[in-house]
Amino acid sequence: MGNETDRRGFIKMCGKTALTVAVAGAAARAATAPAFALEDAPRVRLVTADGKPLKASALPMHANWIFHYPYHSTPALLIRVEDPAAPAEVEDKDGKSYKWPGGVGPGNSIVAFAAICAHALSTDNKDTSFLNYRKVRNQMTGHGRVITCCAHASVYDPAAGARVLAGPAKFPLAAVLLEHDAGTDELFATGLMGSELYGEFFKAYRKDLRKEFGRRKYKTFVKGDTIAMPVSDYSEDAIEC
């Protein structure tokens, strides 16, 4: 695939332009290709805050964790649902079907999705996290075991490709593709599927992302390892609603 030079050139195109190219490439491939596939997506290992590899079996049930992928500044939720999450057909923002591959790891229960709400881009940052997975039923929507966005009450089903269950969002959260190494029990983020919103995300939050992650770093791919931790550790305020 791409060597270092290719990837640097790809990253230079930055944000939306680069991704548009990736989409065009993806569309040219087989009919069963997902609706969006990030070309040259980094393969990144999930580690805990101390740098040690995150072991899938150590991820608690109903975990509401966060890591950054594929860019340094783009958050994703890492969730362990209770029941096995089977593959599911969901529709992207253009109404095109794609097959979400389901959960990985023990009992196929570990899933990950971009923490950028498909309605109006509410997100999770160091200060406040509006998108959270909770086991308990929330007051605002009456749903439990779902990802809720506490800005305008969109609800997504993490066990079914983050399909929209309620609220104003019109398409699922983009899915982060995971791999579980059965031998080492390690977890890897390997790609994306669904309607990505990174171009809009960068545009909406550029000023803050540059400050928090660095002027160039915010829009470059993570490499090697990426840290995963509970949202409540990462964010000052994980909003419940």
239 binds another protein per the rule CB under 8 A: yes
Residues 194-213: x where in contact with another protein by CB under 8 A, - otherwise, as a string: ------x--xx---------
At closest approach, how far in Å is the CB of 241 from another protein?
A: 6
Distance CA 150, CA 141 (A): 9
16 binds another protein per the rule CB under 8 A: no
Rounded to a whole number, what is the distance in angstroms from the first to the last CA of the chain?
Answer: 44
203-217 burial: b if 16+ Cβ within 10 Å, else e: ebbeeebbeebeeee
* Range in contact with another protein (rule: CB under 8 A) among 33-41, 58-66, 120-128, 171-179: 120-128
Count the site residues for another protein by CB under 8 A. Answer: 23
Site for another protein in 148-167 (CB under 8 A): 150-153
Contact 209, 202 (CB under 8 A): yes
Other beta carbons within 10 angstroms of residue 17's beta carbon come to: 11
Contact 167, 157 (CB under 8 A): no
Output DSSP code: residue 168. S
11 phi, psi to nearest 5 deg: -65, -35
Which residue lies nearer to another protein by CB, 79 or 131?
A: 131
Residue from the set 119, 145, 180, 206 that interacts with another protein by CB under 8 A: 119
237 binds another protein per the rule CB under 8 A: yes
117 binds another protein per the rule CB under 8 A: yes
Which residue lies nearer to another protein by CB, 135 or 223?
A: 135
* Range in contact with another protein (rule: CB under 8 A) among 37-45, 113-121, 171-179, 220-228: 113-121
Distance CA 16, CA 135 (A): 34
Which residue lies nearer to another protein by CB, 14 or 239?
A: 239
Which residue lies nearer to another protein by CB, 106 or 168?
A: 168
Contact 193, 183 (CB under 8 A): no
Q: Strand ranges (DSSP E) for 151-185? A: 154-157, 163-166, 175-181
Residues 131-150: x where in contact with another protein by CB under 8 A, - otherwise, as a string: --------xxxx-------x
Residues of the shown chain interacting with another protein in the complex, contacts defined by CB under 8 A: 117, 119-122, 128, 130, 139-142, 150-153, 168, 200, 203-204, 237, 239-241
